Structure 1
């Protein structure tokens, strides 16, 4: 199959940590991955840069304002009728109060023990744990 004809949907994800090295996760309220925990993020809208999309998505989903930092890595995941191309960035909190919104039905900080428990319960989106481990980005 020729890769050139696959519809690719650019998305962004935020790796946000608090002062205790816990990672910010949201529980998805809608598909794909409804009911599963993931990092905040979503689709890049036409005309948006990755940082603009990420700032918007994190605010909508978590109530937190962030400054977008370094690009950490990219992954591809199946999407309806194509592929999600997800570009993940480190982000620093600049303001706001944590509260779930938009398509997130919960938002919380997780340490490694809690993240491991969520993974063991199959409550994390597919591939997130493995990708973060490969990148050296698991919570503390």
Structure 2
């Protein structure tokens, strides 16, 4: 009996990139971080977010993912950037491939209550977030979002 072929629609060893949405949630001068409960980057501090569902806009994904992971309600304010997250395995094959649309959002109130694939959550300044996060792209996105918030020329989405 031959082995089954790999599931190419899987997030592991995919046959196409998955669209993910990362959310830079701000409250004052602090950003929301979650400790990831699933691969890739399990156990690392990161931004809340996840895969976009069919029929869902990027901003709907942002609102849903933050609610699922932390219970917080957010209002998306704009697109920060897009990140290619490609993780090879030891043999150089693509183990994970995400195209991440990074969304800025504001959260007015409430304490994060971890659920779904978030193990912990905390509010941190951009500097503190830089010390907690391990992935350079997460640090870059947070700093870029902070700079965009300070710039009156940055168009925001109502």
Structures share fold, TM-score greater than 0.5: yes
Q: CA deviation at 1:116?
A: 3.5
Number of aligned residue pairs: 130
CA contact (8 A) 1:7 1:82 kept: no
1:127 aligns with 2:137: yes
Q: Distance in 2 between matches of 1:42 and 1:53?
A: 8
Structure 1-normalised TM-score? 0.80
Structure 2-normalised TM-score? 0.71
Rg comparison, structure with higher value: 2
Q: Which stretches in structure 1 are left out of the alignment for 5+ residues?
A: 1-5
* Match in the other structure for 1:31: 39
* Match in the other structure for 1:102: 116
Off by >6 Å, runs of 4+ in structure 1: none
1:16 aligns with 2:20: no
Alignment of 1:1-140 (within 5 A): 7-19=16-28, 21-78=29-86, 81=95, 83-94=97-108, 96-119=110-133, 124-133=134-143, 135=144, 137=146
> Normalized per residue, which structure has more strand?
1
Let me know the Cα RMSD of the aligned residues: 2.6
With over 3 angstroms needed to count, the CA separation of the structure-2 counterparts of 1:42 and 1:136, relative to structure 1, is closer
